[in-house]
C-alpha cells in the first residue's frame, strides 16, 4: 500500500459528461501529480500541485482542470468528455517540490471509461 488514496476505482460515463477524480496524498507529502495512462500514449504527465499551488503543467487539455485543497487532497475535473479520454488516471505524491531523489508514490488509479 503506497498510502495514496484515489477514488473512485472505476468510472463509467457518457460522452459530453463531467467527472471528478479525487486523490489523497501520503501523509506528509506536499506534492500531488496527475498522470494519464492510455495504451497508445503511455504515461502522460498532466499537472503537479505543491502545497496548494500549481507547480508544473504537462499535456493537460483545456477541458481538464485540477486543484489542491488546504488539506492537500486534490481533485481532477474532466469535462466535455470524449471517447479518447478513456484511460487510467493516476495520482501520485511526493514529499517536496520534486528534487531528483524524490520518488513518486502512486495511487491505484481511476479507470475511466467514456461510452
| Residues in touch with other proteins (CB under 8 A) | 2, 33, 42-43, 45, 48, 55-56, 58, 88, 90, 92, 97-109, 111
Dihedral sign for Cα atoms in the order 43, 6, 110, 14: negative
Residue closer to other proteins by CB (options 61, 79) is 61
- Nearest approach, Cβ of residue 15 and other proteins (Å): 24
Residue 112 and residue 89 in contact, taking contact as beta carbons nearer than 8 Å: yes
- Nearest approach, Cβ of residue 24 and other proteins (Å): 15
Residue closer to other proteins by CB (options 61, 104) is 104
How many residues are listed for the chain in this entry?
A: 115
- Nearest approach, Cβ of residue 72 and other proteins (Å): 18
- Nearest approach, Cβ of residue 80 and other proteins (Å): 26
Dihedral sign for Cα atoms in the order 56, 38, 106, 12: positive
> CB-based contacts of 93: which residues, under 8 Å, 6+ apart?
3, 4, 23, 25, 26, 29, 31, 32, 33, 104, 105
Amino acid at each position: 500500500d503506497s498510502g495514496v488514496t484515489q477514488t473512485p476505482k472505476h468510472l463509467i460515463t457518457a460522452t459530453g459528461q463531467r467527472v471528478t477524480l479525487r486523490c489523497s496524498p501520503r501523509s506528509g507529502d506536499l506534492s500531488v501529480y496527475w498522470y494519464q495512462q492510455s495504451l497508445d500514449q503511455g504515461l502522460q504527465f498532466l499537472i503537479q500541485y505543491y502545497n496548494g499551488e500549481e507547480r508544473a503543467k504537462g499535456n493537460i487539455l483545456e477541458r481538464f482542470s485540477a486543484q489542491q485543497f488546504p488539506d492537500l487532497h486534490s481533485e481532477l475535473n474532466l469535462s466535455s468528455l470524449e471517447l479518447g479520454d478513456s484511460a487510467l488516471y493516476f495520482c501520485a505524491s511526493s514529499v517536496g517540490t520534486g528534487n531528483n531523489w524524490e520518488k513518486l508514490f502512486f495511487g491505484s488509479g481511476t479507470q475511466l471509461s467514456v461510452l
